[in-house]
Chain A
Amino acid sequence: MAKLLETENLGIAFGGLRALSDVTLEIGRGEIVGLIGPNGAGKTTVFNLLTDVYMPTEGTITLEGKSIVGKKTYQITRAGIARTFQNIRLFKDISVIDNVKIAMEGDMHYSALAGILRLPSYWREEKAADLRARELLRVVDLEDFADAKAKNLPYGQQRKLEIARALATQPKVLLLDEPAAGMNPTETQELAEMIEKIRKKFDVAILLIEHDMSFVMEICEKLYVLDYGMVIAQGKPEDVRKDPKVIAAYLGGNEDE
């Protein structure tokens, strides 16, 4: 598969604390890749580097062959990397559909005056955005809640709304930070199906952080295992799970699984 997003020898130190070193990842077009590892291994830090919330202290990040290090966060989003958050960060007091439409800002061009005076460009763009937002809500089964405030959705659906909002930026790569956290087994199963559907429908590559191993093993084609800020194993899920280093990292050296 063609390479879409790559990092090479990526590292970051916060003062004297080295959070990540030598992280080299490759994500191909339309691939579903898992990033796993014990708590504090640096998984979310990888996401923060990919979206330039932090500047890497060394290494490179390229999207479709172009370096994206040092770009502004919103430019990276517009270039095609979107994400969700470990601790849900929806715009809580804004309606479900407007949460999605906010993420379409980058594609809308009418002026403020056209907005106040309701000129044709306003109606045209708002209508298109509305249709697209509803379509996205349908994908994550939230169309019936379009006008509810985001904070009034149950937890599992807030996670789905975060995915719809991220998709609204028309990403090439979607970063999901613990999408199944706090979900029960049925919801997790639905989520796995939804992610598969999203990948096909939007032709998007997905990099996800997750602790639910059966979920990861089911949907990921490739895994990277982080521990203490370094990649300790990578490859197909079935190979990674047998890797003694991975088992040691997860179980603290105790190898009976």
Chain B
Amino acid sequence: MNVLSQIINGLHIGSIYALVALGYSMVYGIIKLINFAHGEIIMVGAYAVYVMLVLVGTPLWIAVLVSLLFCACMGMLIERVAYRRLRNKNAPRISLLITAIGVSIFLQNLAQTIFSSSGKSFPNVMPQGSIRLGDAEISALTLITLATAAVLMIGLQLLVSKTKMGKAMRAVSEDAGAAKLMGINTNVTITWTFAIGSALASIAALLYSSAYPLVTPYMGSTLGLKAFIAAVLGGIGSVPGAMLGGFLLGIAETLAKGYISSVVADAIVFGILILVLLIRPAGLLGRNVKEKV
């Protein structure tokens, strides 16, 4: 495989990382919580598509829509049931973090109870075929993944920068107390953030499962961890940062697998993360916020 193909493969997996990383980053930006249950939303989304396509037998678009809505509701439900009370009682951040890990374990075990721990094979629903670009061959799935990710990211960027919800989100993330005093219902804004992040994860789940067609109760943890790293790499809390981090991580990982060794690929990727953070502790696009004393 030549370099171009490797980079295209890197962009493919990277755009999936980026979609998931956005969820981590948005939630962190708004309530300073690393939502470890976010990875499990991917798993939930993948099972939702599986159930609709294989068990119920609906067409793809209905399955995608159901999965999207189910994940969005799941994200909002998690926020409502597990986090909101802690937030309103001003619980220390570590309590929220532990709760998030708890939710993550709960969802994994729930999936295991319902679907058993053996993996389900994900049906092949994406168009086949490929096009040539110079020396590289790009599969239809890669094209679809890249296009979908691009559209979603542009949509999100528009939402955050140009609409009232986006402005409310930025205001809450900067100063929730002042936002309330300007008439913003912060709980609704936070709920929206979870819904949007989870909806993006459900699309990532579909794209990921189409490339690696095995759905298991634990699929969310590795993918979630990588996406979290992408978010940190790009600067957690920053929307463009999450996108950049996702693409960089994907490309670094594919190049390491292709040219060095697939065994140590992860080690190399994590090494890059450590290096970047040593030089830029807030991530590539993150800002170092100095506390005033």
* A interface with B by C-beta (< 8 Å): 51, 53, 72-74, 77-78, 82-83, 85, 89-94, 98, 101-106, 108, 110, 112, 115-116, 118, 122, 125-126, 129, 165-166, 168-169
Residue B182 CB within 8 A of the other chain: yes
**A to B CB contacts below 8 Å, 9 in the list:** A51-B181, A73-B180, A74-B186, A91-B171, A102-B168, A105-B183, A115-B164, A115-B166, A122-B163
* B interface with A by C-beta (< 8 Å): 155, 158-159, 162-168, 170-171, 174-175, 177-186, 192
Whether the pair B186, A98 counts as a contact (CB closer than 8 A) is no
Whether the pair A112, B155 counts as a contact (CB closer than 8 A) is no
- Inter-chain pairs besides A77-B180, A102-B170, A115-B163, 10 sampled, C-beta below 8 Å: A74-B180, A77-B182, A92-B174, A101-B164, A102-B184, A103-B182, A104-B164, A116-B159, A116-B163, A168-B182
Provide the bound-state CA to CA distance between A103 and B180, in Å: 9
Whether the pair A112, B181 counts as a contact (CB closer than 8 A) is no
Provide the bound-state CA to CA distance between A146 and B173, in Å: 21
Provide the bound-state CA to CA distance between A235 and B91, in Å: 44
Chain A residues with CB under 8 Å of B182's CB are 77, 82, 102-103, 105, 165-166, 168-169
Chain A residues with CB under 8 Å of B165's CB are 112, 115
Provide the bound-state CA to CA distance between A104 and B171, in Å: 12
Chain B residues with CB under 8 Å of A93's CB are 170, 174
Whether the pair B159, A115 counts as a contact (CB closer than 8 A) is yes
Whether the pair B167, A94 counts as a contact (CB closer than 8 A) is yes
Provide the bound-state CA to CA distance between A118 and B164, in Å: 12
Whether the pair B174, A94 counts as a contact (CB closer than 8 A) is yes
Provide the bound-state CA to CA distance between A118 and B184, in Å: 22
Whether the pair A116, B174 counts as a contact (CB closer than 8 A) is no
**In the complex, residue of chain B having the shortest beta-carbon distance to the beta carbon of A162:** B178
Chain A residues with CB under 8 Å of B180's CB are 72-74, 77
Whether the pair A78, B183 counts as a contact (CB closer than 8 A) is yes
